[in-house]
Amino acid sequence: MSKQTYSLCFCLRRRFSLPVSEAPPEIRTLFDRYSDENGIMTASHVRGFLVEVQKEESVTEEEAQAIIDGHKHLSIFHRRGLNLESFFNYLFSSNNNPPLSPSLGVHQDMSSPLSHYFIYTGHNSYLTGNQLSSDCSDVPIIKALQKGVRVIELDIWPNESKDDVDVLHGRTLTSPVALIKCLRSIKQYAFVASEYPVVITLEDHLTPDLQAKVAEMITQTFGDILFSPGSESLKEFPSPKSLKRRIIISTKPPKEYIEAKEVQEKGEGSQKEKPVDDEEAWGKEVPSLRGGTISDHKNIEDEDDLDNEDDTDEAEYSRQNASDEYRRLIAIHAGKPKGGLTECLKVDPDTVKRLSLSELQLEKAAETHGKEIIRFTQRNILRVYPKGTRIASTNYNPLIGWMHGAQMVAFNMQGYGRSLWLMQGMFKANGGCGYVKKPDFLLKTGLNNEVFDPKARLPVKKTLKVTIYMGEGWFHDFKHTHFDQYSPPDFYARVGIAGVPYDTVMKKTKSVEDNWSPSWNEEFKFPLSVPELALLRVEVHEYDMSEKDDFGGQTCLPVWELRSGIRAVPLYSRKGEKYHNVKLLMRFEFI
């Protein structure tokens, strides 16, 4: 080998070789504190560390010994204890030491009414991509159910020959999928990730005879697992516990559907939502498969005019009345009564319902009727859905809905981005079962009948101190030229809180140059006035002087379930898929 070739190989090997991760200074200090004079952590030492630093007060010495036994391959001392290397290896194992406790499982009370829970909710669950021209399929429905989504939305239309039912995004270029195929896939995959109930929300554009056909399909497909209380509205929603492994249908009963359709036809296209961000180009009119233009398109619920009076007489209803079988399938009644928002948000002591608002409608309603929304959601269900201009299947800030008690914050699961990361973070809670109990302050009123005000500046309940020590795994999960062509990456981390307005903040570490295993050793403090709604956001990026910084991973964690102490935090891709090796070593303390 020539000297020149050897020099080039040495240079590349130097630039792209993987440095051995060393324990951060604080980890070494803790090891010295919890080890004997020979540098060994015995079972007694390990238990002391777990109790005092990790706040695992109930841990036994036998469990501490099990940790030692699990790492004996790294230590010549075998059963005697852990040396520094094996102690560091244990802390940095996301399988053995994750930030959320895998042993907790479903640990919240599941015996309250459905209205007492945030529910993992999909929007246009059948779309494979964008809202305009992607295929309709049961595949995204299956993927959503496998990830724990509990509310699946289906838009149902007559097929081209008007003798069967398709699922598609109406008045767009999306290609249809047969309803029966979607129903069968829901049955097959409904409970693979969670045994708690799946709600199917139907956007119904059918004639009465096809509604009867849908009733037959649903009944034959789901059989005994279908929860069908009859045609009358429920006086109170059942609990998730009582509805385990059950399917629930939610839509407008036929009469309410006709009212909405009447209003739609009167005010078609009267209120347009302005495209935003990178979607400006979608303002052009495009021919539609089902008449009109794409610029006319809105979901049927987008076009419900809250202030319109309806004067359709009962004779017209009777002529268009759907089958009794279809009506009896509807367990959660949806719809908007005439009389405006104030009328919609009235709480009926004798019945419960589901109300739907677009993200824009919710934002406006929160300004003028915030307290009424929270009172409404204590008994009733509020569904929030993306505005019609989100053609690229983007999403909105879910905290706006959650702060006001909205149970069904509906998201485009086929997209990705920070909003979806927050949604995924929320539903890591409660064992990932798709139901998260709402905080008590969203379920109760005060002594003077007051309710929670998300805009109020409240006193700090607790402060979360986060230390981000280091990260590793990119060398194994990314091509070695992914970040920089000729040198190791320059990583920095962003750490912050998504929550009520006064708690929301984002901070940033320094960049560590030319290192596949960056050590930041930085500490951040986050005062929290409403920790019950706080999500910890973590992102890693690679600094690029001349171009946009490269993405290096993210995660979002529910603060109320964070384990105190030093934890290994796995990171996820933009699409929410867990990396095999990329993880951070972090410490969480509540002070």
Q: State the angle between helix axes of 179-189 and 208-222 in degrees (0 to 180), rounded to the nearest 10.
A: 30
Check: CB of residue 381 under 8 Å from CB of residue 351: no
Q: Token digits for 488?
A: 């190791």
Strands 330-333 and 165-167: unpaired
Report the alpha-carbon distance of residue 535 to residue 532 in Å, rounded. 9
d(CA 134, CA 435): 30
The residue behind tokens 């903040």 is 505
Planar angle of CA 164, 166, 171, nearest 5 degrees: 125
* Adjacent-strand bridge partners of 465: 525, 589
Both structure tokens of 254 = 């036929």
Phi-psi region for residue 339, left (φ > 0), alpha (ψ -120 to 50) or beta? left
Helix, strand or coil, per DSSP, at residue 199: strand
Residue written as tokens 């724990």?
148
In order, the DSSP letters of 513-569 are PS-SS-EEEEEEEEEES-GGG-EEEEEEEE--SSSPPEEEEEEEEEGGGBPSEEEEE
For residue 337, count other CB atoms closer than 10 A to its CB. Answer: 15
**Beta strands per DSSP E along 329-441:** 330-333, 354-358, 381-385, 408-411, 435-437
| Type and span of the H or E element at 187 | helix 179-189
SS3 259: helix
What residues act catalytically? Answer: 123, 169
Q: How far apart are CA 558 and CA 422, in angstroms?
A: 9
Closest Cα to residue 452, out of 461, 442, 438, 465? 442
